[in-house]
Structure 1
Amino acid sequence: MKITHIRAVQPDAPGSPPDWRTWLGQILVRVDTDDGLTGYGVGGGGLAGIHVVETALRHLMVGQDAADVEGLWQQMYHDTLPYGQKGLALMAMSGVDLALWDLRGKRAGKPLAEVLGGQVGTRMPCYKTGWSPAEIETGRSEGFRAVKLQVGKLRAEEAITQVGRVRSLVGPDVRIMTDAFLGWDLDTALRAAEGFANYDVGWLEEPLPLDDLVGYERLASESPIPIAGGEHEYTAAAFEMWMQRGLHQVVQPDVCWCGGLTELVKIYRMAEAYNVQVCPHRGCEVWALHAIAALNADPLAESGRPWMTWVQGQPEIQQGDIQLGHAPGFGVTFDEQLWHST
């Protein structure tokens, strides 16, 4: 099954935020093969990511055997080393890798969850991410039994007060997590973690910049609640460093950025060895959901990007749960009109 063509496009997405998440955001990658199959994946990098896909990666991939997914990942990574390893090149590679996995599932005639050794049809719990107690309360009314509050723009004392308000709104039986989105220093994170512990917070996510490894070492050792992170990290090799050093108790790779499903599967295997929990970023989106269904003994999936309405067949969250269907591959389709200008 030889690759005949690789293309990428950034579909219009009403409601997509006017910031880097759109400018350098989601791209749809399409890989066609000589036996008539087409695989789709979502990566990142915006127009720059499209350029990487349609120049460097297309040059490498056309004519190759699409079945050699892991081997092609190694080739892509090696050939992009001078300018890759992290960032835009890995975001673009992620979309290609996911498209190859989609082809693998379609060739087998199975959903990727089954290809990975799991099953579909089981309801999995989700958590909703929100920016205010009111938004979190809405999530509770929608049936979510787990919620995450963004706190990175607040001072530690303000964040503790907000978390306390959320706990009073949702009651004792709803799981609460927090996300500081790289916005704090070590002292702020420690003060916040101490306060969050009083409200049974499940984790504090990305409180420090990624390059503050010394800060994460102290935080991981002194925080009374688990430290989570990884949505802005790339490759399984980098995640292993975080696990080896004990910097995170929960790792949160974004499959559309970290290198694709090939890397996410490696991260799951590593995490088992290091006794670390994996909870992929935006796990309700199909790109990570199949891995969660197959590889998570205790699954929990984060709500996805609401503006990604051009992904047809994406399972909906119902009363705080989500489940995969039986369509092969990732089980989603796309409007052919997207490709008329490429």
Structure 2
Amino acid sequence: MNPRTKIKHVRALVAKGGEGGGGADYHDQGEGHWIDNHIATSMGRYPEYRQSRKSFGINVLGTLVVEIECEDGTVGFAVTTGGEPAAYLVEHHFARFLEGRDPFDYETIWDQMYFASQYYGRKGLVVNAISGVDLALWDLMGRLRGEPVYRLLGGAVRNELQFYATGARPDLAKEMGFIGGKLPLLHGPIEGDEGLKKNVAWLAEMREKCGPDFWLMYDCWMALDVHYATRLAHACQPYGLKWIEEAISPDDYWGYQQLKKQVPPGMLVTTGEHEATRWGFRMLMEMECCDLIQPDVGWCGGVTELLKISAMADARGIMVVPHGSSVYSYHFVITRHNSPFAEFLMMAPKADHVAPMFHPQLLGEPVPFNGRMNVSALDKPGFGVELNPAVKLRRPYVRN
């Protein structure tokens, strides 16, 4: 393969809607899945949207697949969320900054995509689309060089990854070899003191089942205010809560700054899953909003931007533990000393066994065994995964 080949085509595809089944839009699960079962959200103030996150539309966007094809026929691809709106942006705006270009000019390509869309973007859906393009570029570069992405990022700094598990059954996660378990918070402020007591009781139950040394964390998914989050943190202190995650709105930097000062000593405040770009994370770090940042490489700007975010964090002694994102974060985490462990989302409906995060859309997606993954599992060109031909994709905005 010719490493100096030019980009010929950019294609944006979406998964066929209306069938559920996960993929990059991993919230799009069937009935009864733990990921959609009475989890606290900022929409919990409305009774009709309290039981299910899908009821208020968490799964409306769907999966975006970006394919970048070179003149020599080499194709790199990546998946993220964004669906048809993001596909429109890729085809009708961002493709102009790629087609005819050297794929290794990823810095210029990222810069042009971001600043060309700054007047309507900066975060959210637009940066999701940019992230998908950027990840596809890194996959393409790895395939052109015949090397895994982690080697393009400087090589592994350890021989294996170790994981904590996010899911409804940390007690089962411990049996599977994970170093910790992160629970979804089930009850928000609108459910009052009774809901708070239930949250603490569930943590206490899991602590009893998991023993004193297993990490337990709470994922609050932007559902709380500073007062409630502070009360929850102190109520959970006797049960060894390691961290409280994304407790309040991602735009409330001042609230995070206040919360970090008010939690019990030794308890970490973490956030960043829904933050984007080096500027957003600079705000979190300079205002001392948290102890650990959690960018999602499929949402924060891709690998190109995550490298910048991580460098800023490293200079401040802040850990970077990316949110989920499977192989797209594994190749990054294995190369960074300030990313000492990784998150694994338990996609099994009952969180009772290990299942690939982006099933069924990806083939060859590695998963941890006994809570760990040897670097050899990542030793394939690019990100080392392929699209499942059995999953129907369509290209809503055909240009060429």
TM-score if structure 1 supplies the norm length? 0.92
Q: How far apart, in 2, do the equivalents of 1:289 and 1:85 lie? A: 25
For 2:227 and 2:163, the matched residues in 1 are separated by 31
Compared with structure 1, are the counterparts of its residues 33 and 294 closer, same or farther at alpha carbon in structure 2 (3 Å cutoff)? same
| C-alpha distance in structure 2 between counterparts of 1:49 and 1:308, whole Å | 21
Counterpart check, 1:326 vs 2:376: no
Partners in 1 of 2:268 and 2:317 — Cα distance?
A: 13
State the match for 2:321 in structure 1. 279
**More moved, 207-216 vs 120-129:** 120-129
2:37 matched residue in structure 1: none
Q: CA 1:55 to 1:221, structure 2 compared with 1: closer, same or farther past 3 Å?
A: same
* Residues 175-324 of structure 1 aligned to structure 2 (within 5 Å): 175-224=215-264, 225-283=267-325, 285-297=326-338, 299-304=340-345, 306=357, 308-323=359-374, 324=377
Contact 1:292-1:301 at 8 Å conserved across structures? yes
Q: Per the alignment, in what secondary structure is the counterpart of residue 314 of structure 1?
A: coil
Q: Label 1:253 to 1:92 Cα distance change in 2 as closer, same or farther (>3 A).
A: same
Count how many residue pairs are aligned between Structure 1 and Structure 2: 338
Letter in 2 for 1:329: G
Q: Name the structure 1 match of 2:192.
A: none
Q: Is the 8 A contact 1:113 1:293 kept in 2?
A: yes
Q: Which amino acid aligns with 1:163?
A: L
Amino acid at match of 1:58: A
Q: Which runs of 5+ in 1 are unaligned?
A: none
1:42–1:94 Cα contact (<8 Å) kept: no
TM-score of the superposed pair, with normalisation by structure 2: 0.79
C-alpha change, 1:336 and 1:158, in structure 2 (3 Å) is: closer
The counterpart of 2:132, out of the listed 67, 92, 95, is 95
Q: What does residue 51 of structure 2 align with? A: none
In the other structure, the counterpart of 1:122 is 159
Are positions 1:153 and 2:210 aligned together?
no
Measure, in 2, the Cα distance between the counterparts of 1:331 and 1:47.
26
Distance in 2 (alpha carbons) for counterparts of 1:307 and 1:264: 20
Matched residue SS, 1:237: helix
Shift of 1:308: 2.7
Amino acid of the structure 2 residue aligned with 1:79: A
The equivalent residue for 1:64 is 101
RMSD value, Cα = 2.0
**Residue number among 106, 109, 121 corresponding to 2:146 in the alignment:** 109
List gaps (5 residues or longer) in structure 2: 23-27, 31-53, 189-194, 348-356, 396-400
8 Å Cα contact 1:120/1:326 also seen in 2:
no
